[in-house]
Structure 1
Amino acid sequence: MGKSDGIPILDLGPYRAGDAGALETLAAALRHAQENVGFFVIVNHGVPQARIDAAFESARRFHALPLDAKLALKANEHNIGYLPFKGSTTRSSKVNVNTKPNLNEAFFVKRDLAPDHPDVLAGKRYKAPNQWPAEIALPGFRAQVTAYCDALEALARSLLPLYARALDLPADWFAKAFDFPMYTLRMTHYPPVPEPEIEDNQFAIAPHTDSGFLTLLAQSDIPGLTVRLPDGTWVEPPLIPGSFVVNTGDLAHRWTNERFLSTPHRVIHRTPRDRYAVPFFFDCSYDHVMECVPTCTGPGNPPKYPPTTYPEYQLWFGSRNYAHIAPKAGENMAAG
């Protein structure tokens, strides 16, 4: 396993090929990355480069639409749809008091199911469909985005046995929790902005931790992401074409009783070029109750958080960072 600037590089090739001992070797490397950094980079992951390129092109095509067309799809209370430029201010940061809106616009997509799909009716996901631009406006956009989500869901699922073994659990331990996983694709556009300065507390995306279980971020050809290591230094992940940056989110952090780190990161965009990012946020099933992982608690180390579910935590997190997300009367807002 490689390492660059403190962020490990994990090669999935032997594991995907089924080589003897590859699962345990890779799980040990993942354990080290999660307990000491919270970020790692994966190579030989199996997602075709053409599929990744199509996702970036889809983001570019969407954000090239006229503003009126994008505003017609403005993000709703489920955070599905279009978030305008400077439409969010990150208030959940653990390392910085963020006071200014983020210098980006974004389009959010979740699992593409019709409102009458059996799993929707069973309460296994938000009861809200995606907001797609008309096919005539962006031919093939929906198909390309859905195909990318399918590919990344498959990749994320393939990592679950590694996470289980990294936590000294049976390889299939997470299978039930992720039998119908939730996910969100955020298609972000960072336009060129004259000299945004850290000293002015202005960021493309301000310092934050992700909210979910894990994030898969296809590498952009324009740097900007920086990660805050546990010693307080900020580093850029190694820029490896075709690779994915992977990090733990807050739900995995609390599910593992803080054994796995949820590491702060930010984006600073100072180039004259438009930058795009397509982070994929992967979570357990909508109705699964996340209680402390049994190998992460014991005498002298009781659970630090009460059980929670995906919708409960996402409502709390979203309402702090997005003005258009607000709890309805009676909804649980406890983060634990």
Structure 2
Amino acid sequence: MSATETIPVIDLGPYLAGEPGALDRTAQELRFALTQIGFYFITNHGISPEKIRSVFEQVKRFHAQPIEKKMALKLDNHGTGYMPMRGNTLRTSTVQAGTKPNLNEAFFVKRELPPDHPDVLANRRYRGPNRWPADLPGFREIVVDYCNELERLVQKMVRLYARALDLPAVYFDAAFQDPQFSLRMTHYPHQEGPAVDEFGLAPHTDTSFLTLLAPNDVAGLSIRTQSGKWIDAPAIPDAYVVNGGQMLQRWTNDFFLATPHRAVNRSGGERYALAFFCDATIDWPIAAVPTTVGPDRPPKYPTTYYTDYMVRYQKRTYDLLADAQAAD
């Protein structure tokens, strides 16, 4: 395979250890990955394999519950809670028309905010309380701890993104001081297919600035390269898969890619996945950074705000929310 049809592996170890020159060297690797492929693996990221395994165990515990217990926590307008099997359809996809509902179920959590937080009290969109299962001791604590670790990792990684864009390393620091994130804990049943127009997760691009997909022994992810060829993402021990989404694309004026990808579980068994979608602070204006615009390269997108963008996206994507809104 050519370099542009192979998902690169980026070792974060030297950068995270503060080795001289490692910031800019790693940033150049990141620049290549995000301008040529849109996906990369990270190794030596500092998240322990034991912690990742413990979260996967919690995901299995959650999805093993009876459907009535899961539906008691059904997805709400904040984007938290349970989405049942075939509960979303990717109508927003630019690469797959007429898609059937996706063959997966998922549980979503966002930042854990205290009950007296001003945004919670105001019922601000996407800043509401998480929905936690009552009968799974330890579930909440393990998931919240994992999200906190990934948040800290993202806050270190955005300095690489800044340098990859020829910006000062601290350029994104303030924007990600209190980042907006969502952890999607997904269960994919086995598929023989894909059947015609049926996927575990249909071809799509993420909405996020950055997505971290946890290391997984059960493969199922495929990405579409810039040549239009679909390639399978290998299962690399202890390595996260990372990609950019539509917010990154807008922030970089299409300089960095939001690459289409899909998931099909042909493993013969069950597949579970942990995707952490991370964006800037909820009120941060997303507009093209200065190094991606010029006299011959005007901004392609208006200034974007997280809440407005996600309201439009989720209304079209999540059948459960669309049905609820239609009934209001």
TM-score, normalising length from structure 1?
Answer: 0.92
Farther off after superposition, 217-226 or 319-328: 319-328
**Contact map agreement 2:4 2:37 (CA 8 A) in 1:** no
- Give the ranges of 4+ consecutive aligned residues of structure 1 lying more than 4 Å apart after TM superposition: 118-125, 326-329
**Contact map agreement 1:39 1:246 (CA 8 A) in 2:** yes
**Contact map agreement 1:89 1:321 (CA 8 A) in 2:** yes
Partner Cα distance (1:82, 1:159) in 2: 29
Q: Root-mean-square deviation (CA), in Å?
A: 1.9
**Contact map agreement 2:42 2:242 (CA 8 A) in 1:** yes
Secondary structure of residue in 1 paired with 2:320 = coil
Amino acid of the residue matched to residue 297 of structure 1? Answer: V
**Contact map agreement 2:92 2:317 (CA 8 A) in 1:** yes
Q: Show CA shifts across 1:31-62 (max 9, x none).
A: 01101110000000000111110111111000
**Contact map agreement 1:185 1:281 (CA 8 A) in 2:** yes
Alpha-carbon offset, residue 122 of structure 1: 8.5
Secondary structure of residue in 2 paired with 1:113 = coil
Alpha-carbon offset, residue 128 of structure 1: 1.4
Amino acid of the residue matched to residue 89 of structure 2? Answer: T
Which aligned pairs between 1:124-203 and structure 2 lie closer than 5 A? 126-134=126-134, 137-193=135-191, 195-198=192-195, 200-203=196-199
Alpha-carbon offset, residue 167 of structure 1: 0.4
Which aligned pairs between 1:23-62 and structure 2 lie closer than 5 A? 23-62=23-62
**Contact map agreement 2:4 2:36 (CA 8 A) in 1:** no
Secondary structure of residue in 2 paired with 1:223 = coil
Secondary structure of residue in 1 paired with 2:29 = helix
Alpha-carbon offset, residue 328 of structure 1: 8.0
Q: Are residues 1:286 and 2:282 paired?
A: yes
TM-score, normalising length from structure 2?
Answer: 0.94
Amino acid of the residue matched to residue 251 of structure 2? Answer: W
Alpha-carbon offset, residue 77 of structure 1: 1.3
Which aligned pairs between 1:1-336 and structure 2 lie closer than 5 A? 6-118=6-118, 120=120, 126-134=126-134, 137-193=135-191, 195-198=192-195, 200-325=196-321
Secondary structure of residue in 1 paired with 2:279 = strand
Partner Cα distance (1:328, 1:87) in 2: 15
Amino acid of the residue matched to residue 250 of structure 2? Answer: R
Alpha-carbon offset, residue 7 of structure 1: 0.8
Alpha-carbon offset, residue 5 of structure 1: 5.1
Secondary structure of residue in 2 paired with 1:187 = strand
Which structure 2 segments of 5+ residues have no match? Answer: none
Partner Cα distance (2:174, 2:121) in 1: 19
Alignment coverage as a number of residue pairs: 323
Alpha-carbon offset, residue 126 of structure 1: 2.6
**Contact map agreement 1:108 1:187 (CA 8 A) in 2:** yes
Residues 125 and 23 from structure 1, CA distance in 2 versus in 1: closer, same or farther, beyond 3 angstroms?
farther
